[in-house]
């Protein structure tokens, strides 16, 4: 019997055992028992109609059935008095997690090469399902085991705090990301790129400038941030200065490595055409260096956000992600802290995804892009 079949039969056995001996949790809430039954129906279909997941519609039906089981357990765990004693809900939840894992396997194996839209939907859905599974387990464990809020609040609590503090979080996002991160990222990356071209043009600068750049990149943020605040003030300019220092050296090193990656045969061909330095740079070396440059941009997208948030710990107006985290943790408003962290994680992920999308448009010729 295949692994999938074993998982399906295990779910059926776990469902029967918990329903017989500890199924009272299914009676909590309206229609909870019917929601909890849907994954069982889906598993039976998978056992006797294995080809149902070959189509997108079949995958959607099975996914909806499994989702109904998640809704049932989440509904009951919020209403039950002592989830510790109701072992049936945990047995059901553990078996359901294995089914969720199988559903993610269905979607990851889906043929997304039929058309561009299908491929985009499939590639987006798999990480969403995985993230949803983590949030489901997080909610179940924190609520079911009554984890103190100061240690780890439930995702539902964080979502409530996010909705209630949306205006404040938007102001923090504007101050930290739209001002400090974007400005520092652009200045740091552009200056690193320009200096890399200069270093490539003037070879003796490699020995004099690169060690200094390496030294600057090794400076700790906690030491640099207070100095930048003294130099540029408490507003976003000092945070942008910290971001510039963090993003300059990765761009410099990666651009130089990319410029040196051009094959010798391509250089000899351009020399046979009597190409000068700038023609060689623009037409051959820079296109070959684009994968390295975009790699630096993606690395800097995360470094910039981290640098700006940490820099706000050392002096900022009464707005900003770093300010919000440091202030609300002192007030024990952990849900607001996690909401701010969620905003930072979401903005950083979208920024990285945007750079990755632009990279695919400009480096579609590269083997790594063609294979992926």
Q: Are residues 189 and 121 in the same domain?
A: no
Q: Are residues 175 and 276 in the same domain?
A: yes
CA distance 361 to 156: 38
Q: Are residues 345 and 208 in the same domain?
A: yes
Whether pTM exceeds 0.75: yes
Q: Are residues 137 and 167 in the same domain?
A: no
Supply the range of the domain harboring residue 256: 163-371
Task: Collect all residues with Cβ–Cβ distance below 8 Å to 145 and sequence separation of at least 6.
Answer: 83, 84
State residue 368's pLDDT score. Answer: 60
Within 13 Å and on the Cβ side, how many CA atoms surround 293? 23
Total number of domains in the chain: 2
Is residue 155 situated within a structural domain? Answer: no
Is residue 127 situated within a structural domain? Answer: yes
Q: Are residues 188 and 326 in the same domain?
A: yes
Q: Are residues 173 and 31 in the same domain?
A: no
Is residue 223 situated within a structural domain? Answer: yes
Q: Are residues 68 and 195 in the same domain?
A: no
State residue 1's pLDDT score. Answer: 46
Q: Are residues 112 and 191 in the same domain?
A: no
Is residue 95 situated within a structural domain? Answer: yes
The answer to whether the beta carbons of residues 52 and 58 sit under 8 Å apart is yes
Instruction: Supply φ then ψ for residue 93, to 5 degrees.
Output: -65, -40
Among candidate residues 101, 119, 147, the one where a domain is terminated: 147
CA distance 89 to 361: 48
Among candidate residues 116, 147, 178, the one where a domain is terminated: 147
Q: Are residues 180 and 279 in the same domain?
A: yes
Determine the distance from the C-alpha atom of residue 199 to the mean position of all C-alpha atoms in its chain, rounded to a whole number: 34
Is residue 321 situated within a structural domain? Answer: yes
Q: Are residues 11 and 137 in the same domain?
A: yes
Buried b / exposed e along 74-85 (16+ C-beta atoms within 10 A): bbbbbebeebee
Q: Are residues 264 and 187 in the same domain?
A: yes
Is residue 157 situated within a structural domain? Answer: no
Q: Are residues 282 and 177 in the same domain?
A: yes
State residue 351's pLDDT score. Answer: 92
CA distance 320 to 220: 21
Radius of gyration of the chain (CA): 27
Name the 3-class secondary structure at 163: helix
Q: pLDDT tens track of the chain, all 372 residues?
A: 477 788 889 999 999 998 888 888 888 877 888 999 999 999 998 888 877 877 888 888 989 999 999 999 998 888 877 655 578 889 999 999 999 988 888 887 776 555 667 667 777 788 888 888 999 999 999 988 888 888 888 899 999 989 998 999 999 999 999 999 999 999 999 999 998 888 888 777 777 677 776 676 677 777 788 888 888 888 888 889 999 988 988 898 898 888 887 777 776 676 676 667 787 777 777 888 888 899 999 999 998 999 899 888 887 778 888 888 888 888 888 889 999 999 999 999 999 989 988 888 887 766 666 555
State residue 121's pLDDT score. Answer: 73
State residue 92's pLDDT score. Answer: 92
CA distance 225 to 239: 7
Is residue 168 situated within a structural domain? Answer: yes
Among candidate residues 118, 147, 176, the one where a domain is terminated: 147
Distances (CA, A) of 36 to 11, 165, 256: 12, 34, 58
Query: What CATH number is attached to the domain comprising 297?
Result: 1.10.3720.10
Is residue 342 situated within a structural domain? Answer: yes
State residue 13's pLDDT score. Answer: 92
Q: Which two tokens stand for residue 123?
A: 């590639």
């Amino acid at each position: 019997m295949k692994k999938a079949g074993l998982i399906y039969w295990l779910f059926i056995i776990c469902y029967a055992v918990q329903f017989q001996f500890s199924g009272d949790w299914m009676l909590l809430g309206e229609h909870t028992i019917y929601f909890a039954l849907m994954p069982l129906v889906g598993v039976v279909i998978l056992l006797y109609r294995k080809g149902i997941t070959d189509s997108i519609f079949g995958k959607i039906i099975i996914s909806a059935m499994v989702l109904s089981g998640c809704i049932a357990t989440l509904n009951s765990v919020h209403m039950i008095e002592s989830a510790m004693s109701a072992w049936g809900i945990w047995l059901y939840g553990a078996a359901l997690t294995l089914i969720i894992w199988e559903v993610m396997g269905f979607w990851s194996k889906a043929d997304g090469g039929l058309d561009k839209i299908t491929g985009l939907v499939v590639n987006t859905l798999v990480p969403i399902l995985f993230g949803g599974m983590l949030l489901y387990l997080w909610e179940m464990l924190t609520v079911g085991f009554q984890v103190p809020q100061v240690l780890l609040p439930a995702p539902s609590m964080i979502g409530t705090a996010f909705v209630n503090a949306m205006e404040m979080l938007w102001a923090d996002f504007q101050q930290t990301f739209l001002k400090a991160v974007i400005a520092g990222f652009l200045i740091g990356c552009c200056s690193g790129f320009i200096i890399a071209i200069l270093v490539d043009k003037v070879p003796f600068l490699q020995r004099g400038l690169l060690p200094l750049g390496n030294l600057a990149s090794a400076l700790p943020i906690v030491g640099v941030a207070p100095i930048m605040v003294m130099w540029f003030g408490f507003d976003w300019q000092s945070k942008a200065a910290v971001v510039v220092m963090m993003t300059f050296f990765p761009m410099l090193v990666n651009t130089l490595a990319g410029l040196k990656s051009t094959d010798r045969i391509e250089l000899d061909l351009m020399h046979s055409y009597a190409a000068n330095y700038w023609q060689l740079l623009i037409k051959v070396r820079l296109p070959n260096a684009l994968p390295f440059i975009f790699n630096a941009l993606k690395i800097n997208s995360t470094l910039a956000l981290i640098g700006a948030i940490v820099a706000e710990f050392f002096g900022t107006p009464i707005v900003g992600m770093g300010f919000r985290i440091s202030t609300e943790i002192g007030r024990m408003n952990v849900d607001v802290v996690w909401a701010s962290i969620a905003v930072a994680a979401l903005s950083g992920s979208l920024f990285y995804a945007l750079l990755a999308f632009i990279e695919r448009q400009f480096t579609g010729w590269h083997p790594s892009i063609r294979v992926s």
